Chain A
Amino acid sequence: MNIEQLDFYTQAILSLAALVGLTSFLMLGQGRLLRLIFVFAMQGFLLTLTTALAAYSLNNHHLYISAVLTLVLKVIFIPWMLRRQVLQMNMHRDIEALKNNTAVMLGGASLMVFSYYVLHPIVQSSSVVMLNALAVSLSVVLLGMLLMISHRQAIAHVVGFMSIENGLFFAAIVATNGMPMVVELGVAFDVLVAAVLFGIFFLHIRTSIDSLDVDLLNKLHEVEK
């Protein structure tokens, strides 16, 4: 693949894919909650850009609606809500000491390689660009899970959860120019409700264990003692 021979849209999509992947890695190594939320908002912004760019170059009007939805939900509302929680809980000065940071980062890198490996069969039927875009989306999904495993704060879990959604959304935009409109609205509705529910849950967890450290949620076991 010679990148200079591709048209402008494809080149832009490739660079945006790389940047979205990068933000996932930045989140993975981030111990400060406010910065984590900021990077998450950046990822949402890159996603908005991608959507708007796709809408513009493919002249597809319903993608503009998705772009606005993403902007409102993922760049403004959810980061605002999480930021408010962090400030209320007075957690913005804490730095979470991440265990095995090096191992986690290496794990993240291998997840990226793994995504390319899993999706390699589709090269036969579509372009290399598509492989890159889908593989980056899948690795954003997997890195989101790794983020949830390696962090202990409930807020970091929500960021991981939402960044998984970002990865899926990126795949939908790049591979298929967005899902059908009804589905996209439905997914956006689900994300909104999930965000509100997370807000309610923070309150419940705080009143129950007086902290948002989910390691303290450890009463239920597979085999009871």
Chain B
Amino acid sequence: MIAAYLVLLIPLVGIVFFALSGHKEETGKLNVRFNAVCLLATIWLAINVLNQGTIISSGGAFLIDPFNVYLIVLTAFVGLTTSIFSSPYMEHEKEIGKLSDTRLKLYHSMYQGFMLAMYLVLTTNNMGIMWVAMEGATLATVLLVSLYRTPESIEAAWKYFILCGVGIAQALFGTILLYYAAVQIGDGENALLWSVLYENATKLNPEILEIGFVFMLIGYGTKIGLVPLHNWLPDAHSEGPTPMSAVLSGLLLNDALYAVVRNKMLVDGATHSSMAGYLMMGFGMVSFLVAAILLHRQKDIKRLFSYSSIEHMGLMTFSFGIGGPLATFAALLHMTVHSLTKSAIFVTVGHAAQVAGTQKIDQIRGLIKTQPKIGWGLLIGTISIAGFPPFGVFTSEFLVLLATMDSYPWLTPLLLLGIGIAFAGLFRHIQPMVYGDKPEGQNPITANLWPVTIHLALVLWLGLAIPGFLAHWFSQATLLISGSTPL
């Protein structure tokens, strides 16, 4: 349990430390160290869970089970690699005069603030605190979206703030309804603890929970970026600094989906109907298709990949909605490979935009000729996210397809169509950026592509063979969510 407290304590110290110490030359590297220590703590936590099974802290405030512990490690890992990328990237932004020391101080402090909110969402056992932490994540990142203070970035941040704030308020209403159902079966102060709710799920009032789940899905769904609540997402991703886009896409969206799945587990227990699953399937499928089509009409490289995030989040929501063991396993795997690949892509895109001096797709050209590392990184990342074998995204998408054919065969053509449209949408933009002729005066920059290499290598490994302990882990989580294992 000490490990869990450490995971929360380290970023908390980080917030205060960076806020007080001001920006110095080595601040970016210190940020890396904070995240590295945190990753070690999460691995320690994961080993504990592997040995002892589910851990609930005394008093029940925190719950670590196979489902959230792997997300915690993933969060820490992506947080670390993104901070490794962010250190030279933000220095470069400062050198070209886009940022000042005070803003970098805010950036590093809030980076840790965001990590804290993410860990709190994942570790807490209290559905109310989960809401508070999710709102906290918005509050921590909203000033980072407008970090450059351009009119566009302020507009994006305002949209993000208002849409996510209003959206997540719906989730609070859902939480209140959940609490209302819970106090009817007793246990006052502890009634919002997930472990207590889960044990007594069959006794909860199904009508209230059904209404509550609709609000939860809308609320947390705004954060996942489900169509038609997705409007803030491309704006916030494209106007904020690139490391922020990487962690928003790789972590925040996952954690919002995690919150929805936790609630779905309760609702399924109470209602014995597929209402929650159907809602998630519907929203997921619409998001998947709409985002795939919108990919074709983008002119900004970061907006392009944020629509790709919406598409993949839609697919995961759909897959969790189907709900069987195979579909759940596929969704968990897809969560992992998507956040690894997408954060790698945003890192490369950040460098590509610095090379070209712009984020406009039609002005980024000839990356392979200018700086082969960045060009190949972008190309391989895109191949991976589009679902080519042998990468992990292919495996998980294939499993989603299998699960769909098993349960709802008539939906398979729609899925295939969506994957095809998305593939075409990505490649028509990426191909000229990567190949093509090098524009005059375009020069290589100092870039650290280790995070990209590691992420993509991991995704490749997951595509070729999922290591035994990880497969075991996914099976445990699947067992927890869907009631049986796929293997």
Contact = CB atoms under 8 A, between A and B. Distances in A.
Contact of B173 (A124, A171, A189, A204): A171
Interface string B104-130: 000000000000000000000010110
Interface in B159-186: 159, 161-162, 165-166, 169-170, 172-173, 175-177, 179-180, 183-184
A6 interface: no
A186 B132 contact: yes
B27 interface: no
A8 interface: no
B202 to A, nearest CB: 15
Given A148-B162, A197-B139, A217-B154, A141 B297 contact: no
Contact of A119 (B191, B211, B235, B303): B211
A190 interface: yes
Contact of A168 (B159, B161, B173, B211): B173
B69 interface: no
A125 B128 contact: no
Contacts of B155: 217-220
Nearest to A160: B166
Given A176-B179, A197-B161, A201-B161, A220 B235 contact: yes
A95 interface: no
A122 interface: yes
Contacts of B180: 175-176
A63 to B, nearest CB: 13
A39 to B, nearest CB: 19
Which interface class (under 10, 10 to 19, 20 to 34, 35 or more) fits A? 35 or more
Give the top 10 A-B pairs by smallest Cβ distance, nearest first.
A183-B128, A186-B132, A217-B155, A121-B207, A223-B297, A224-B299, A175-B180, A190-B135, A208-B151, A164-B169
Contacts of B211: 118-119, 121-122
Interface in A151-181: 154, 157, 161, 164-165, 168, 171-172, 175-176, 179-181
Contacts of A172: 176, 179
Given A175-B176, A201-B157, A217-B158, A222 B126 contact: no
Contacts of A126: 184
B192 A179 contact: yes
Given A161-B166, A186-B133, A217-B154, 15 more contacts: A121-B210, A122-B208, A141-B169, A164-B166, A165-B169, A179-B179, A180-B126, A183-B132, A187-B128, A187-B132, A197-B161, A205-B158, A214-B158, A220-B159, A224-B297
B300 interface: yes
Interface residues of B, number: 57
B156 interface: yes
B139 A222 contact: no
Most buried by B among A145, A183, A194: A183
A48 to B, nearest CB: 18
A125 B136 CA distance: 34
Contact of A224 (B157, B192, B208, B300): B300
Contacts of A197: 139, 142-143, 161
Interface in A128-158: 137-138, 141, 144-145, 148, 154, 157
B478 interface: no
A209 B177 CA distance: 41
A193 interface: yes
A204 B166 contact: no
Nearest to A184: B128
A132 B183 CA distance: 19
B442 interface: no
A168 B176 contact: yes
A187 B128 CA distance: 9
A157 B163 CA distance: 11
Interface of A: 118-119, 121-122, 124-126, 137-138, 141, 144-145, 148, 154, 157, 161, 164-165, 168, 171-172, 175-176, 179-183, 186-187, 189-190, 193-194, 197-198, 200-201, 204-205, 208-209, 214, 217-220, 222-224
Main secondary structure of the interface of B (DSSP, over half): helix
A219 B207 contact: no
B158 A201 contact: yes
A204 B184 contact: no
Contacts of B300: 224
B106 to A, nearest CB: 11
Most buried by B among A138, A194, A208: A208
Contacts of B135: 190, 194
B453 interface: no
B179 A219 contact: no
B146 interface: yes
Interface string B207-232: 11011000000000000000000010
23 contacts: A121-B210, A144-B166, A164-B166, A168-B173, A172-B179, A175-B180, A176-B180, A179-B179, A179-B192, A182-B129, A187-B172, A190-B135, A190-B139, A194-B139, A201-B146, A201-B161, A205-B158, A208-B149, A208-B154, A209-B151, A218-B155, A220-B235, A220-B238
A179 B149 CA distance: 38
A122 B207 contact: yes
A118 B218 CA distance: 15
A176 B132 contact: no
Contacts of B149: 204, 208
A200 B155 CA distance: 14
B93 interface: no
A171 B133 CA distance: 21
Interface in B2-45: none
Contacts of B421: none
Contacts of B136: 190, 193
A172 B109 CA distance: 33
B137 to A, nearest CB: 11
A125 B126 contact: no
Nearest to A157: B162
Contacts of B192: 179-180, 183
B129 A145 contact: no
